[in-house]
Amino acid sequence: MSTPLFRRDPYLRRAEAQVVAHTPEGGIVLDTSLFYPTGGGQPGDNGVLRWDDHSLTIATAIKGEGEAIILVPAEPRALPPVGTSVEQALDWDRRYGHMRMHTGLHLLSVVVPFGVTGGSIGAERGRLDFDMADAPEDRDALQANLNALVTADHAVSEEWITSEELDANPGMVKTLSVQPPRGAGRIRLVRIGTGTDTIDLQPCGGTHVDRTGEIGPLRIGKIEKKGRMNRRIYLHLEA
């Protein structure tokens, strides 16, 4: 098991950890992980591990067996031995871009109120695919509504519910092709806004900013037809 430090504090950039295992493919498992593993359309984090006089560049992180998070080196190198204490350091600019974009895509799902059939998150550009026959008629109005939610500086928070509670509220799930993981018996929700001013509440395991104002200006990019009932909308961070 790798305790997910990014869940406790997504703004944490450096942390100590201990190597608990190596994988046959040359990956590293730590007892605690700053690195978010690829999932939910969000790429795995990259960065560096340091120990003694050594360093190792980490290209990405992926999910392993159970709760393990596997760090994938950028190139074949000698790994820190099991039991070694290491310092983890994120590529913070990339991670923070993912946090801003991921939260921005949640807002996009608010202003485009259709089921989501897919998505992808980048540090500067992301996209969502919507179950909709026609493209939005007024791109400028869509972008203005989106940026109004950003500048309103809504709080972003998390909470947890049981699988049974989610089953009783199926409307929370906006994704049509992927269902939230249920193996642990608890499901994480991300809420944008508070109380009666909540504008979005949906299951999500990704990293997010604390307030929508951190996202900065957003631009609606290309809108593509990807099928009879599928429109792909690209979103760009402008700053």
| pLDDT tens-place values along the chain, 239 residues long | 899 999 999 999 999 999 999 999 999 999 999 999 999 899 999 999 999 999 999 999 999 998 899 999 999 989 999 999 999 999 999 999 999 999 999 999 999 999 999 999 999 999 999 999 998 889 999 999 999 999 999 999 999 998 888 888 888 888 766 666 655 678 999 999 999 999 999 999 999 999 999 999 999 999 999 888 899 999 999 98
How many Å apart are CA 167 and CA 158, to the nearest integer? Answer: 18
Query: Would you call 37 exposed, middle or buried from its count of C-beta atoms within 10 A (0-12, 13-18, 19+)?
Result: buried
The CATH code for residues 95-237 is 3.30.980.10
pTM (two decimals): 0.94
DSSP state, residue 42: B
Say yes or no: domain 3-90 is CATH 2.40.30.130. yes
pLDDT (0 to 100) of residue 183: 56
Residue extents of the structural domains in the chain: 3-90, 95-237
> Is the distance from CB of 51 to CB of 84 less than 8 angstroms?
yes
Helix or strand run (H / E) with residue 160 = strand 156-162
